[in-house]
Amino acid sequence: MPELPEVETVVRGLRAPLIGRRIESVWYEREKVIQMPSAEQFTARIIGQTVQAISRRAKYIICQLDHDILAVHLKMTGRLFVAAPVNQPPEDRWVRLRLGLDNGEELCFSDARRFGRVYLASSVEEITPALGPEPLEDDFTPTILAQQLQGRSKAIKALLLDQSFVAGVGNIYADEALHRAGIHPQRPANSLTKPEIKRLYSTIREVLNKGIEYQGATLNWYRKPDGSRGESQDHFYVYDREGEPCLTCGAPIVKIRVAQRGTHYCPHCQPEK
């Protein structure tokens, strides 16, 4: 599933072709792709509105319209791109929603497995569950992280995957941050020392910023809006490298399961305490 760097890359790639465009038509394959409101209400409300800005909240792509927000969650296989009908990629045969724009192009939502969802609402809070702080914003500090860890006995990897704890971090960047911080993924969250918390805070921000710099990780379905691949996967320290030598110490990378998710770490650099 695309995580914060991938979603942020999509947001940045959509701004130039989409901001200032007016929505003039709606086509959907199935009503289910529109999570809220009803497909009929969605169509009636969105036509005629102009895209004013595009941003991100957690893993949601947020298009600010004249009166509403259009929010998209890509889930596992979603793609969002703008193209003229004649120029849409022939291999992209999984388009579930098209929004016709005033310049003849279309905002297309493609989703092979149909897990992604589209929302039209008056505010982000209307559609999102309780979300934690944005890890790259100034109001996320080591002190805030330490406060959130107090009393939490859950494994630190599982907690990082909890979007109510911190927004936007997923399986890939949790593994990478924990490795760089030297913390075992199964450590109880409330067992982290102050120096470890400070390291983890720094490495969370480091791996997310690097992920954005490399424009996301293309391991399976993720593509940038122009159809090209991200490059983050070429710079992983541990994720998806089971059995390969650790880039820090040379020990083999191990894969276990934490919170039902495949988890990669180095037993030497991240000892279990």
- Provide the CATH number for the domain around residue 171: 1.10.8.50
Among 126, 153, 180, identify where a domain stops.
Answer: 126
Domain co-membership, 122 together with 190 = no
**Domain span at 176:** 142-265
pLDDT of 238: 98
Residue 134, domain member (yes or no)? no
pLDDT of 1: 80
Residue 223, domain member (yes or no)? yes
pLDDT of 199: 98
Instruction: Report the alpha-carbon distance of residue 214 to residue 71 in Å, rounded.
Output: 24
pLDDT of 153: 94
- In terms of phi and psi (left: phi > 0; alpha: psi -120 to 50; beta: otherwise), the region of 58 is left
Instruction: Report the alpha-carbon distance of residue 59 to residue 11 in Å, rounded.
Output: 11
**Residue from 81, 72, 77 nearest 15 by CA:** 81
* Residue 183: partners with Cβ closer than 8 Å, 6 or more residues away: 156, 192, 196, 199, 200, 270
Domain co-membership, 10 together with 118 = yes
Catalytic one among 12, 206, 261, 267? 261
For β-strands 60-64 and 53-57, DSSP reports them as antiparallel
Residue 272, domain member (yes or no)? no
Residue 91, domain member (yes or no)? yes
Domain co-membership, 95 together with 172 = no
Tell me the pLDDT of the chain (273 aa) as tens digits. 899 999 999 999 999 999 999 999 999 999 999 999 999 999 999 999 999 999 999 999 999 999 999 999 999 999 999 999 887 777 678 999 999 999 999 999 999 999 999 999 999 899 987 899 999 999 999 999 999 999 999 999 999 999 999 999 999 999 999 999 999 999 999 999 999 999 999 999 999 999 999 999 999 889 999 999 999 999 999 999 999 999 999 999 999 999 999 999 999 999 997
Catalytic one among 56, 57, 59, 224? 59
Residue 195, domain member (yes or no)? yes
For β-strands 261-265 and 254-258, DSSP reports them as antiparallel
Among 98, 126, 154, identify where a domain stops.
Answer: 126
Token duo for residue 49:
């509105």
Largest Cα–Cα separation, the chain: 60
Q: Is 79 a catalytic residue?
A: no
Among 91, 126, 161, identify where a domain stops.
Answer: 126
Q: Is 59 a catalytic residue?
A: yes
Residue 273, domain member (yes or no)? no
Domain co-membership, 152 together with 115 = no
* Residue 92: partners with Cβ closer than 8 Å, 6 or more residues away: 79, 108, 110, 227
Identify the CATH number of the domain in which residue 118 sits: 3.20.190.10
Residue 270, domain member (yes or no)? no
Domain co-membership, 8 together with 106 = yes
Domain co-membership, 214 together with 174 = yes
Instruction: Please report the beta strands in 102-214, taking only residues with DSSP state E, as ranges in sequence order.
Output: 106-111, 117-121
Residue 202, domain member (yes or no)? yes
Domain co-membership, 86 together with 173 = no
Domain co-membership, 121 together with 148 = no
Q: Is 98 a catalytic residue?
A: no
Instruction: Report the number of distinct structural domains present in the chain.
Output: 2
pLDDT of 59: 96
For β-strands 34-36 and 117-121, DSSP reports them as parallel
Domain co-membership, 55 together with 84 = yes
pLDDT of 131: 93
Domain co-membership, 106 together with 179 = no
pLDDT of 232: 97
- Does residue 110 contact residue 94 with C-beta atoms inside 8 Å? yes
Catalytic one among 2, 5, 17, 135? 2
Domain co-membership, 45 together with 89 = yes
Domain co-membership, 45 together with 154 = no
Q: Is 261 a catalytic residue?
A: yes
